[in-house]
Amino acid sequence: MPGESKPPPPLPEPDALRAAVGGAVLDHALDALVVLDDLGRIALLDAGAARLLGHDPEAVRGRPLEEVLVPAEQRAAARAALAGFRATGALGRSGARRELTALHASGARVPVELTLTRPVALAGRTYVAAALRDRSERQRVEAALESARAEAEAANAAKSRFLAHMSHELRTPLGALIGYADLLERDPDHPDRRAWARRLRRNSGHLLALLNDLLDLSKIEAGELHLEPAPASPLDLLADVEALMRPLARDKGLELEVELTGRAPDAVEVDALRLRQILINLVSNAIKFTDRGRVRVEARLVEPASGPRLRVAVTDTGIGIPAERLGEVFEPFTQVREPGAPRREGTGLGLTISSRLARLLGGTLTVASTPGQGSAFTLEVPVTLATGAAAAPPTGEFSRSAWGGQDPDLAGRRLLVVDDHEANRELLRLLLERGGATVVVAPEGEAGLAAARREARAGRPFDLVLMDMQMPGLDGYAATRRLRAEGFRGPIVALTAHAMAGDRTMCLAAGCDDYLSKPVVPATLRRSLGRLLARAAGAALAPSTEGDAPGAAREPGLSARPRPSADDLPEAARPARPPRRDPRLARLVTAYVADLTRVAQVLEMALAADDGARVGLETHRLAGTADTYGFPEVGARARACQDRLRTGSSLAGLAEEVQGLCAALRAARAD
């Protein structure tokens, strides 16, 4: 009927449809297809198989399967399977999957998953089809998963070992703390109470050292430990290490030798805090494992084609390390000791941290050892010669006495010393007056500015200013900028207890000509003064408006004057050098030593009151004065406290360092 729709045509039979589309399916299937006859010959290699295995379908048609697609080591098994196919008409279980390796035309191995169809009879022969699926990507994923699983298991095992070590390291001192605290609580008047208190302190110190080491190690592994290179004196670094380590060596009856050999620069650019940490770890480790004999530290600058490097060898006459265990010494919580010997005190992290810090500094830490004879650890780190630092013969002497060496020739010079610490001012005055200078001192920035203006108005401007940069009120940076703005053109030398990255740049940017870190080494001071005054000596530096800040007020006459020759002065006006045994020095030292007990008490009260500002102020003052007065251990401990404070340590984390500093202060007072 008009308008009626015709019914759809009937669908073809499945067999007919399968036959019609089979060719297209074979050409575009994701899997590869290989058809074999019962003689084991390749009857068909489809397009997918050609892509997967790289063979030309026509070239391999009729060839034995095992010669074309089966690796040599699997051919015997393939021939046996094909013989069974000929005998039974079956080749394995239909639909079953197997993982095999096929041979690519290039000779490469291709991992495949194989699935066999049921046998088909055609023209008197039996055929079977094998579907092959590439397993390369899956194999890569499985390998990655297996690797991740193995890493996770290793990390879990490492965590378990870490927790086991930590449990041991924490339980031992905690048990002592609890036990001795209980004894003190039960019997506070017992005659052994002082010994118990000392053991409490020693074990609490061990716990604190362990936590500090763990924090350092975690920062290194997390990539959060950042280097802060700054100018540092190799001589000063070694002196710090010697001052801290000599009491430990003395307690064990060991000789401690520290020597800087060859030619060494006055200063190098390096992260002094981390370099000092490595050296202290190495020397303390050497002392720990040496029961008799000596520990020697030898440092030298080596200059290969790749650039200057500081090499420090720490050798001992200790127990030594067997060759087969040398690789273990830098692993965490590892302690190589003699069979049957008790574990020696320590966290087992010092060498691990030292090795990783050495790598962080761009250097290496290596070890050589002979059991029963001793060990040698060699640290080598790249350094940059600090600006203006020249190589000079080392003294080999680590005393920081301010009174050794040649006094500077300062005859006729007028110098201003601005420092908020009286001990520093008076020592610098005495040292400079020994060289023939006239010295004016000021206790803070405003007083220094007033002195400069007063002397300029009197027609005798200062030739050079020594400026402490950290002072209350008007600090050295601001005072220096004011001096420059008001026309002072003479050299200004910055004095600072800080030696971190950026400090030197800040001082020079403020208008200083040189930068000396406290404690001031007299030889370094002499070289700085000699260089700066010689540079200024050639011509009179008349007042100039160049470089003045816009609108800045100027005091006329603040510029430095040319140096007069001593021969130009009247006989009576020529400065005489004080005698070498100056009674002023004895008075200064006596007053300084008498004040040490008070400083220790102030630090202890500040620690108990959680007064970080007071601890910072007192350690800053000690860091700048103690070495000069002949107390290097006090100076080194004060600088260690300063370094920790500047890197963000809390007072709780500084407790052991501050207590050690107080003990060193009282020991210095007793001496």
Phi–psi pair at 92, nearest 5 degrees: 75, 180
Highest mean pLDDT among 268-272, 316-320, 338-342, 666-670: 316-320
- Per-residue pLDDT at 547 exceeds 50: no
Count of helix runs (H) and strand runs (E) in the chain:
20, 21
C-beta separation of 472 from 423 below 8 A: no
Q: Whole-prediction pTM value? A: 0.43
The per-residue pLDDT for 136 is 85
Confidence of residue 570 (pLDDT cuts 50, 70, 90): very low
Element of type H or E holding 152:
helix 136-186
State the pLDDT confidence band at 454, using cuts at 50, 70 and 90. Answer: very high
Residue 559 has pLDDT above 80, yes or no: no
How many angstroms separate the Cα of 476 from the Cα of each of 210, 479, 483, 491, 554? 39, 5, 10, 14, 18
Beta strand spans in 317-421 (E): 364-370, 374-382, 384-385, 391-392, 414-418
Average pLDDT score, the chain: 75
DSSP 64-122: BHHHHTS-GGGHHHHHHHHHHHHHHS--S-TT-EEEEEEEPTTS-EEEEEEEEPPPEEE
Mean pLDDT, residues 142-161 taken together: 78
Using the 8-state DSSP alphabet, how is residue 628 labeled? T
Reference 261, options 310, 217, 223; nearest CA is: 310
Predicted local distance difference test score (pLDDT) of residue 270: 87
Distance CA 180, CA 631 (A): 33
Q: Which residue has the higher pLDDT, 4 or 466?
A: 466
Dmax (CA) for the chain in angstroms is 146
Average pLDDT value for residue range 463-473: 89
Whether the pLDDT of residue 312 is over 70: the answer is yes
Cβ neighbours, 10 Å, residue 585: 19
Range among 267-271, 274-278, 295-299 rated most confident? 295-299
Q: Provide the 3-class DSSP secondary structure of residue 234.
A: helix
Instruction: Indicate the angle between helix axes 422-434 and 583-594, nearest 10 degrees.
Output: 160
Could you give the percent of the chain with pLDDT greater than 70?
72
452-466, 537-551, 573-587: least confidently modelled range: 537-551
pLDDT digits (tens, 9 = 90+) for 182-203: 788 888 888 888 888 877 777 7
Query: With 60 as the cut, is the pLDDT of residue 631 above it?
Result: yes
- Helical H runs in 512-557? 522-536
Residue, of 287 and 539, whose pLDDT is higher: 287
How far is C-alpha 478 from the geometric centre of its chain's CA atoms?
Answer: 33
CA distance 281 to 297: 12
Q: Compute how many other C-beta atoms are within 10 angstroms of the C-beta atom of residue 208.
A: 18
Strand order in the sheet with 514-517: 438-442, 414-418, 464-468, 492-496, 514-517
Mean pLDDT confidence for 586-610: 74
* Residue range 396-423: mean pLDDT, rounded: 63
Better-predicted residue by pLDDT, 161 or 359: 359
Average pLDDT, integer, range 57-81 = 86
Q: Is the pLDDT of residue 462 over 90?
A: yes
